[in-house]
Amino acid sequence: MFSTAVLLASTPDQLLPARELMAFTLASHILLVPFGVALPFITLLMHHRGLRRNDAVALKLARRWSAVMAVQFAIGIITGTVLSFEFGLLWPGMMGRWGDVFGLGFGVEAWAFFLEAVLIAIYLYGWRRLKPWTHFWLAVPLPLAALMGAFGIIAANSWMNTPQGFRLDAQGNPVDVDVRQAIFTPMFGPEYWHFVVAMLLTAGYVVAGVYAVGWLRGRRDRYHRLGFTVPFTVAAILTPVQFMLGDSAARAVFHKQPIKFAATEIVWKTDTHVPEYMFGRLNSDGTISGGLRIPQLDSILAGFKPSTQVTGLTSVPAADRPTAVQATIAHWAFDIMVTIGSLLILLALWYAWSWWRHRDNPRGRWFYRCAAIAGVACLVTVECGWITTEVGRQPWIVYQHMRVSDAVTDTAAGSLWAMLGIVIVVYVAVFGAFLAVVLKMRTRWRIADEGSGAASAGLPEADTPYGPRSETEPAASGHTSGGAS
C-alpha cells in the first residue's frame, strides 16, 4: 500500500488527462479499423462472385458496400489524423527519444493510407466507366494496401511491446538502429496475424449482422440472403483460426512479456500448478475476489503441463508492474475477449452443421438473432484486445525502457481536459454524420429496390452497377431489383 501511494504521489498531473484523451480517440478509431482493413476484401469477394456468375444481385451488393467503404474511410482519415497528432502532442518523450527506431512503422502506415485512398477513388470511379473485369483487377491491390497499413501500425505497436534493433549509448539514447530488427520484433508475427484475422472476422460478422436484422424483419429475398451468406461464411471459417491465433499470441506474451501475462491472468506470485481465474478481481494484497477458479489450468495453457512455472507480478518491484486495478482491467478485457470468441465458435459450428446437413443457412430466428448480436460482440472484442495490449504493458510505454510518466507532455492538465471535452464533442458530431449518411444511403437503396418513389427522391439507380442495360438485352430476375429478386 505504501509503494502504491508513492507511485501516485510521483505521477504527473497531466498523465491522467493525457491517458484519457488517448484512450478515447483510440477506442473511437479502432471501431472503424475492421472496415478499413477487411471491408475491401469482402467487397471484392462479392464483386468477383458477381462477375464470375453474372450475378447482378452480387454486383449490386458490392457496389453498395464500396460506397459505405468510402464514407467509412473518410471518417477514418479524421480519427486517424487526430491520433497521429496525439502521439507527438501527448507523448513527446517517447517520440523524441525513440522515434528514429520505430517511426518507420508509422511511415509505412501513412503511405498505405494514401495509397488506399487513391485505390478507393479508382474503384468508385470505375463502376460506370471501366470494363467489368478491368475494374475488378484494378481494385485487387486495395485489400493489399489495407494489409500494408495494418503492417505499419502493428510493427510500431509490437516494437513498443518487445523493443529491439538498437543499442543504448552512455547517455541512454538509442544508437546503431537496425530497421529490420526494429520492425520484425518477437511479438510482430503473433500480433499482426491475430489482428488481421480479427479485422476480417469483425467486418464479416458486422456486415452479415445487418442482413440478419433484415431477415428477422421479414426480408427473405435473395438480396438479403446473399448479403448475409458471403460475409458470414468468411467470418465463420476464420473463427476457429482466430481462436488458435489468439492462443498462440497469448503464449508469445507468456514467453516475451511475463509480467504482462501475469497481469492478464492475475498471477500474484511465481509458482507452478497455477490456477486459471475466469474474471475475478485482484486485490492490492494479492488475494483474488470472486471469479471462477479452475485448478492448474493457467500452467497447462501456458506450457501444456501443470508443472509449468508462471511468473507472478511480485517478481518485479511495484514500480515496474501494473497496479492491481490495471491488472484487473487487463484480466477482464482478456476474459471477455476469450468468452466471446468461444461463443462465436459455437455459432460458426451451428452454421457449419446446417450447411453439412441441409446445404442451407439455419432457418430458426434464434440463429439470426445470434448472428445479429455477433457483429456488436466482435466490436467489443476488438476494444478488449487493445485494452489487454495497452493496459497490460503498464507502467511502460516502451516495455522495460521508458515509463508512460516519463513520456507524457508537460502541457497543463487543465488544457488537456479541455481538449478532451472538445474532441468528444467533435467525435460525436463526426460519428453522428457518418450514421446519418449511411442511413440516408440505406433509404435511397430501399426506395430503389421497392421500385417506387425513386423519381421523387431524385436519386434513381441504374439497372446494373455497370450502367443501364441495352433495350435489346432480355430482362433477368437478377437485374430487376436487389431487394425483390
Confidence (pTM): 0.85
Q: What is the pLDDT along the chain (485 residues), one digit of tens a residue?
A: 434 443 444 578 889 999 999 999 999 988 888 888 899 999 999 999 999 998 889 999 999 999 999 888 888 888 888 888 888 888 988 888 888 888 888 888 888 888 988 999 999 888 888 898 999 999 999 999 989 988 988 998 999 999 998 888 888 888 888 888 989 999 999 999 999 999 999 999 999 999 999 899 888 888 889 999 999 999 999 999 998 999 899 999 999 999 999 999 999 999 999 888 899 899 988 889 888 899 999 899 888 889 889 999 999 998 899 999 999 999 999 999 999 999 999 999 999 998 888 887 888 889 999 999 999 999 999 999 999 999 989 999 999 888 998 989 888 888 999 999 999 999 999 999 989 988 888 888 888 777 644 443 444 445 455 544 443 333 333 333 333 33
Task: Give the CA angle between residues 156, 93, 29 to the nearest 5°.
Answer: 45
Alpha-carbon distance 37 to 203, whole Å? 9
User: Is there a contact between 290 and 233 (Cβ–Cβ < 8 Å)?
Assistant: no
**Dihedral class, residue 273 (left if φ above 0, else alpha if ψ from -120 to 50, else beta):** left
The conformation of residue 175, written as its DSSP 8-state character, comes to: E
Alpha-carbon distance 91 to 96, whole Å? 9
Q: Quick check: helix, strand or coil at residue 20? A: helix
β-strands 276-278, 292-294 pairing: antiparallel
Q: Could you tell me the residue ranges of all domains in the chain?
A: 12-207+416-446
Burial class (CB in 10 A: 0-12, 13-18, 19+), 474: exposed
Q: Quick check: helix, strand or coil at residue 376? A: helix
Residue-level pLDDT at 46:
94
Residue-level pLDDT at 357:
84
130 Cβ contact partners less than 8 Å away, ≥ 6 residues apart:
138
Residue-level pLDDT at 44:
94
Alpha-carbon distance 447 to 74, whole Å? 25
Alpha-carbon distance 387 to 30, whole Å? 11
Residue-level pLDDT at 10:
59
Residue whose C-alpha cell is 489450468: 297
309: how many CB neighbours lie within 10 A of its CB?
Answer: 14
Alpha-carbon distance 239 to 324, whole Å? 32
Residue-level pLDDT at 421:
93
Residue-level pLDDT at 360:
78
* All three cell numbers of 35: 472496415
